[in-house]
Structure 1
């Protein structure tokens, strides 16, 4: 059974079938970021994410015109996840959005660490030894291809069938908070 997702004012609203700037803009650093300034992100195909209520609360921001789509709950600024584009069948669901008490056991160990240059603290050796990012990126690209070919890119709860974002993206200005 997939883990329940939700946080803050969004308890148990869906089911699964970022960098520092995003977390700080939402004033969600304490809930999302670890001691090193990073966060765990669970990669899944869009067809496995079902938002069962509160869809009207979903908001989107981007750090630039062509940057990632960064999704959050507008009612409480809870980060939800990231996506590249509607044609890329992958959503990076932020771990703190998953409120299943067995989250760690169900998701398993960290498989790769990326963007380590932005770390704000000492990275534990266990994370450094997890897997080389290059190898993981190759595996992830293969997964994305399989998801695309098997039709798991649709439905995508964050984009219309015509590829338009569910919420009009707000382009974040440097230093801006929501």
Structure 2
């Protein structure tokens, strides 16, 4: 999904970000209840937002599910379905956003500075380990 398609109707002051490491993607959440919201790149210049569809009350508004990632397998590994479709979709949306200039219209970054609207917390190795436990 392109970030400019995301609308936050209220509670923007609770929008917070974290990273699993110093260079990791931004994982946005509501700081009031720690509800995960979206995953974005570190810059508004690569306009991409990923969502856990199960968190959306009406997933039909997002369109059809075209790709599935990290599907657990019996051997403990994970696989992906139709990853090429996702890559093509991301590239198409990024190009459209960049060419139109709409990439600036995002709730996650300041339009003028390109900085995140809240300072991301970077998890330590211990915090990451606890997160996955």
2:36 aligns with 79
Whole-angstrom CA distance in 2 between matches of 1:106 and 1:147: 20
1:106-117 equivalences under 5 Å are 106-116=61-71
Q: CA deviation at 1:87?
A: 1.1
Contact 2:4–2:102 (CA under 8 A) maintained in structure 1: yes
Whole-angstrom CA distance in 2 between matches of 1:74 and 1:121: 35
1:58 aligns with 15
When the two structures are superposed, what TM-score results if normalisation uses the length of structure 2?
0.77
Name structure 1 gaps, 5 residues minimum.
1-43
Q: Aligned to 1:147, which of 91, 97, 102?
A: 97
1:60-139 equivalences under 5 Å are 60-84=17-41, 85-100=43-58, 103=59, 105-116=60-71, 119=72, 132-139=82-89
Name structure 2 gaps, 5 residues minimum.
none
- As a proportion of its length, which structure holds more helix? 2
Alpha-carbon deviations, 1:66-100, whole Å to 9, x = none? 11000000111100001012211121133244223
What value does the CA root-mean-square deviation take over the aligned residues?
A: 2.4
Whole-angstrom CA distance in 2 between matches of 1:96 and 1:135: 20
Q: CA deviation at 1:121?
A: 5.4
Q: Aligned to 2:107, which of 151, 157, 177?
A: 157
Tell me if 1:175 matches 2:129: yes
Sort the Cα spacing of 1:49 and 1:107 in 2 relative to 1 into closer, same or farther, 3 A. closer
1:18 aligns with none
When the two structures are superposed, what TM-score results if normalisation uses the length of structure 1?
0.60
Whole-angstrom CA distance in 2 between matches of 1:106 and 1:61: 26
Q: CA deviation at 1:47?
A: 1.7
Whole-angstrom CA distance in 1 between matches of 2:34 and 2:130: 14
